[in-house]
Amino acid sequence: MSKNGHIKRDLGHVTARLKAWLPDGDKVTGLRVLSAGHSNETFYIEGLNRVLRMPPSTGGLLPPYDMPKQHRILAAVGAMQDGPPVPAVFEVCEDPAVLGDPFFIMEALVGEEYEYAPPQWLLDASEAQRTAMSTRWVDAIASLHDRPAEEMPERQVSTRDYAENCLRMTQVPNGDPQLIRLLEDFVANPLATSGAPTPVHGDPKIGNMMWRPDGTLVAMLDWEMAHQGEPLHDLGWALCLYNQPLASAGLDLPGWLQPEQMAERWEARTGRSSEGLDKYMVLAFAKICAINTWGIHLYESGQTKDERYAAWGRGMSQLLEILFRRADRM
């Protein structure tokens, strides 16, 4: 199925309503699909050179998809001095009667995102460019973590809360007992923190970074999981994707900073210790398994017909094998 097949909207109707609602709507000539993954849907507004962001029209994996919240977060991060690069935000609408769902408008940026397979330009890049890119990636993450938590206008999530959120996704009929026990242990024995809470992105994986082929980091995207909390959750989430055979994303290419180097750079930028990072990386990978468990449950229980979730079931045993091997080394 194409990426457009997951969108259940009449784009002609949405375009007409958007033209009528926007102050400069007369410039709008159409909508072009940019992404329709497991979360938000984004559309390029032709004629206006901006982007429309809406909740998933097929329910999504981890609702709710709060458009005013995402708008508020992007505005706050954009106002941070020396913070990570993000698209500017413009109009926001909370009234679902306008387009069928709440939505907001943001800046259209020129760049490329990749998550599983590295693009050809990265394969062709020099080792120096890869080192520079991975440095920009960890610096963008760290730039959130050297500032007060209140600069992120969202609630605080403790390390116990984080583990409990993961555990709830596994407490379904298809939940793996060993995964459940592992997450129960993280709940009963919350991870030690590196200091006071900070702003946290929640999902700073390489797939949420937008690049130019020259290695320039254009923006950090997808802020729907942002909160105040322990910054090692962000670092652990980014680094847990290393050293696994499912999708390298280029993290194993010569020149790309490896986990120890990334952690050292993060420590230098934040003034914090990354002690205990191995446990945060295990919890992050357990979260991946928990999200997959939830997606498989949605499919098997008939709550979604999205075949992508069925495919997750076929790879779940390999994910769990990686997780438990890592957990045994903690």
Give the pLDDT band (50/70/90) at residue 245.
Answer: confident
* pLDDT for res 247: 80
Query: Can you tell me the mean pLDDT for 292-321?
Result: 89
Least confident residue range of 1-5, 184-188, 289-293? 1-5
Residue 170 identity (one-letter amino acid): T
Domains and CATH numbers, the chain: 3-107 (3.30.200.20), 120-328 (3.90.1200.10)
* pLDDT for res 37: 60
C-alpha 303: how far from chain center: 23
Q: Quote the mean pLDDT of the chain.
A: 94
For 165-204, the pLDDT digits (tens) are 999 999 999 899 999 999 999 999 999 999 999 999 999 9
For 69-98, the pLDDT digits (tens) are 999 999 999 999 999 999 999 999 999 999
Asked if omega into 64 is within 30° of 0 (cis), the reply is: yes
Decide: residue 131, CB within 10 A, 0-12 exposed, 13-18 middle, 19+ buried.
middle
Q: Which DSSP string do the residues of 89-105 spell out, in sequence order?
A: EEEEE--HHHHSS-EEE
Q: Which residues pair with 52 in a beta bridge?
A: 43, 105
Give the pLDDT band (50/70/90) at residue 1.
Answer: very low
- Indicate if the pLDDT at residue 289 is higher than 50: yes
- Indicate if the pLDDT at residue 313 is higher than 70: yes
The pair of three-digit structure tokens given for residue 274, joined into one six-digit string: 């990354």
* pLDDT for res 61: 81
CA separation for the pair 208, 221 (Å, rounded): 5
The pair of three-digit structure tokens given for residue 254, joined into one six-digit string: 């010569």
Place of tokens 């091997």: 325
For 261-281, the pLDDT digits (tens) are 999 999 999 999 999 999 999
CA separation for the pair 313, 259 (Å, rounded): 28
User: What does each C-alpha distance from 8 to 11, 43, 280 come to in angstroms?
Assistant: 9, 13, 37
Residue 83, CA atoms < 13 Å, CB-side half-sphere: 22
Torsion sign (Cα): 166, 243, 265, 256 = negative
- What stretches of the chain adopt beta strand conformation (E)? 30-36, 41-46, 50-54, 89-93, 103-107, 156-157, 198-200, 209-211, 217-220, 227-229
The pair of three-digit structure tokens given for residue 330, joined into one six-digit string: 């903690």
- Three-state secondary structure call for residue 314: helix
| CA 235-285-280 angle, 5° bins | 40
pTM, to two decimals: 0.94
CA separation for the pair 105, 91 (Å, rounded): 5
* pLDDT for res 39: 75
Among residues 296, 284, 207, the alpha carbon closest in space to that of 247 is found at: 207
* pLDDT for res 38: 66
